[in-house]
Structure 1
Amino acid sequence: MKRVLIIQIRQLGDILLSTPLCRALRENLSSVEVHFLTSEIGKSIVLGNPYIDEILTLSEGIVGEVRAVLTTLRNRYDAVIDVQRTGRSRRITLFSLSSRRIAFKKKNFEIGYNVPIEWENRGYTAWERIKLLEGLGVKVRNYQDYLPEFYNFKPVKSLKLDKYAVIVPTARKREKMWEVKNFQEIISFIHRELGIKTVLLYGKGEEEEKKKYKNLQGTIIPERALSIGESASVIKGALFFIGLNSFASHLSISVGTKTIIIDKKHSGWFPPIPLVKEVYGDGKFPNVDSVKKAILELMG
């Protein structure tokens, strides 16, 4: 086995959740060359990863897809692992002409794949994806040792920070967002009980959300939306992070920061490890006191 392609085009969180595959592959097949196909924005998530030898990007449209297929043919992959199984990734996998085209088995296993892998519930999505390596004859028994990893840090010189927490109160889907008044109360609690400030991060297009926290004591709000690499740098330096079931929470785990996730129910998207606390209700968001308790427990 000389060269393997892993395909994870999007979403941002899913791209991070597929990075453990790269490390597990390299550590169990040391001579293998690992390539990773993703989107243009996804490239910034895997850039600098020492377990990836080459990053390929897929642009929008049929031309981008044809170029990706031609690249796979030129690179002559011994195996292609399609983590995502979209229409585009399936076609690229099929036309790569690789002898091993690996994906999780579905009820109707599509023509694009010839090595079906049975999915297994391991309690965390990233650990479940490592099972795809069995298509290469690699059985990783210590899969719980692998977590998402991020390396493409960008410093933020405009922020002068000492001891602080980070909160990201937004999510891609509005129904996944906790009430603003709850986050406001948590920020005040952190400032009052722990004596530290909270950096509030937000993404492009979320400028209206940041205004709701503008005059709240104990809050530091960057003047502009930070890039993924800049956000990672700020989160890595934090004492702890609080977020929702969103990309930012995956990013926090990938940089080794203590993380609290607020959600309506247990999702399986986050690892059951001491570094992470999921606070959730029975189909509804938890109350503020539950999150306060989680903060105190996490901080010891």
Structure 2
Amino acid sequence: MRILIIHTAFIGDIVLSTPLIKKLRDTYPKAEITYLTTPVGASILRNNPHLTHIIEYDKRGEHKGVKGFWLIAKKLKMEAYNLVITPHRYLRSSFLTFLTGAPIRRGYDTAAGKFVYNEKIHYDKSKHEVEKLLSFIPKDEGKRYEIELFPSGIERERVDELLSNSKKNIIVLAPGSKWFTKKWPLEYFNELIRELKRREDVTLVIVGGKEEQLLNIPMYEGMIDLRGKTTLLELAEVIRRARIIVTNDSSPIHIASAFPEVRILAIFGPTVEELGFFPWSKNSKVFQVEGLECRPCSLHGGDSCPKKHFKCMLDIKPQLILEEIEKDLESERV
């Protein structure tokens, strides 16, 4: 049995697909399972023991344009897959699925180019994204599949160095997002930092990509700034060691969900839990403004508030998050 997963979406989407990988391995224990994704997606999937191969589809580099597309399509055709599963709902992924020539091609019934799939999976908007993905494998024994990430010894050693001076209680702050309206106001993050820096039992760690390096965040003695300094698996290892993470509705939510001991405090503004991307971890709490008529304003957020008031974020005050953090710190946890 040769199985291919095609998923070239955002980092969070790739992380959310790891329960599907495990379910595939449980269902087909002797199968070769290959995952085709972007180079960034490949970096977060490394070391996954349930995958046989990872293929990097570099849409902006080696496989750019029509020539690059046909190059990757030819490679997939030669692999002679028995089953192709494509959670990505874009036309390019659907067309690529068709060109594999696999006898079983499974995709969502809402996908662009859905006609290429001979087995269509209902896209149930009411379900969490993990549950949607697990529906690609009909076998259901009522088992809950968890998000899984696998930092290696190399990542652990690197993080040992980065966090060498940290105290027992690490609080990770993830202020970034690709979309402006998904960002909790920076002044709120900074106010939270000013309050927490007074505690002697806490180390604050700021994480994010190179884009977040532009954010004007005050750095106090004892804080650790890792923006733009970690790979994705190093970031996962940093989060694994945290007691608490405060994050916008972005990929750190899903990365943190791989580690059940980490308390996730997730801030949802323009998006809502019903869209299916809330934390999969049970050790989490979502902060959002209930009863706001304009929520959700979109699936991904946007560059500005359509209503010009931005109440969905401005009304989530730093004191709410601070109280939750202090309550957790005062609780008895092993």
TM over 0.5: yes
Report the alpha carbon displacement of residue 141 of structure 1 after superposing the two structures with TM: 3.5
Aligned-partner Cα distance in 2 for 1:141–1:105 = 24
From 166, 171, 179, give the equivalent of 2:172.
166
In structure 2, the gaps of 5 or more residues are 296-311
Q: Identity of paired residues, percent?
A: 23
In structure 2, give the amino acid aligned to 1:26: R
C-alpha deviation, 1:152, in angstroms: 3.4
Superposition map of 1:72-91 within 5 A: 72-91=76-95
Amino acid at match of 2:318: V
Tell me how far apart the structure 2 counterparts of residues 48 and 67 of structure 1 sit (CA, whole Å). Answer: 26
Partner of 1:129: 133
SS in 2 for 1:225: coil
Which residue matches 2:288? 280
The one-letter code of the counterpart of 1:90 is: S
In 1, the alpha carbon distance for the partners of 2:317 and 2:112 equals 42
Aligned length: 292
Q: Does 1:141 pair with 2:141?
A: yes
- Residue aligning to 1:243: 247
Partner of 1:197: 203
Q: 1:113 aligns with which of 117, 131, 144?
A: 117
Judging changes above 3 Å, is the alpha-carbon distance between structure 1 residues 191 and 21 closer, same or farther for their aligned structure 2 residues? same
Separation in structure 2 between the aligned mates of residue 109 and residue 180 of structure 1, nearest angstrom: 41
What's the offset of the Cα at 1:227? 1.8
Residue 43 of structure 1, CA deviation: 0.8
Q: Which residue of 1 aligns with 2:194?
A: 188
Residue type matched to 2:319 in 1?
A: D
Unaligned stretches of 5+ residues in structure 1: none
Equivalent residue letter for 1:51: H
Does the CA contact (< 8 Å) of 1:24 and 1:140 recur in 2? no
The yes-or-no answer on 1:58 pairing with 2:57 is yes
Q: Distance in 2 between matches of 1:297 and 1:97?
A: 56
The aligned counterpart of 2:13 is 14
Alpha-carbon distance, 1:121 to partner: 4.8
Distance 1:272-1:238 versus aligned 2 partners, 3 A rule: closer
SS at match of 1:205: helix
Q: Matches of 2:318 and 2:10 in 1, distance apart?
A: 29
Cα deviation, residue 22, structure 1: 0.6
Asked whether 1:263 is paired with 2:268, we answer yes
CA distance in 2, matches of 1:273, 1:109: 33
Q: Which of 97, 106, 115 lines up with 1:93 in the alignment? A: 97
Offset of 1:182 from its aligned partner?
1.2
How far did 1:8 drift? 0.7
| Whole-angstrom distance in 2 between the partners of 1:126 and 1:288 | 30
Q: 2:321 aligns with which of 283, 291, 294?
A: 291
C-alpha separation between the residues in 2 aligned to 1:274 and 1:30?
Answer: 28
After TM superposition, give the deviation of residue 159 of structure 1 in Å. Answer: 3.4
175, 183, 197: which one aligns with 1:177: 183
- Return the offset for 1:225: 2.9
List structure 1 runs of 4+ shifted beyond 6 angstroms: none
Aligned letter for 1:198? Answer: L
Q: Among 203, 207, 212, which residue is 2:213 paired with?
A: 207
Q: CA deviation at 1:86?
A: 1.4
CA–CA distance in structure 2, aligned partners of residues 64 and 15 of structure 1: 22
Q: Could you say what secondary structure the match of 2:81 adopts? A: coil
User: What is the CA RMSD across the aligned residues, in angstroms?
Assistant: 2.2
Report the Cα offset of residue 252 of structure 1: 1.4
Provide closer, same or farther for how the CA distance between residues 184 and 148 of structure 1 changes in structure 2, counting only shifts above 3 A: same
Kindly tell me: are residues 196 and 220 of structure 1, through their superposed partners in 2, closer, same or farther at Cα, counting changes over 3 Å?
same
Q: Could you say which residue in structure 2 is the equivalent of 1:219? A: 223
Deviation at 1:148, TM superposition (A): 2.0
Secondary structure in 1 aligned to 2:115? Answer: coil
Q: Deviation digits for residues 53-80 of structure 1, max 9, x if unmatched?
A: 1101112222332222122212111110
Hey, what's the Cα distance between the residues in 2 that align with 1:108 and 1:181?
A: 40
Change (3 A) 1:107 1:99: closer
Give secondary structure in 2 for the equivalent of 1:111: helix
TM-score normalised over the length of structure 2: 0.80
C-alpha deviation, 1:273, in angstroms: 4.5
**Deviation of residue 91 (structure 1)?**
1.2
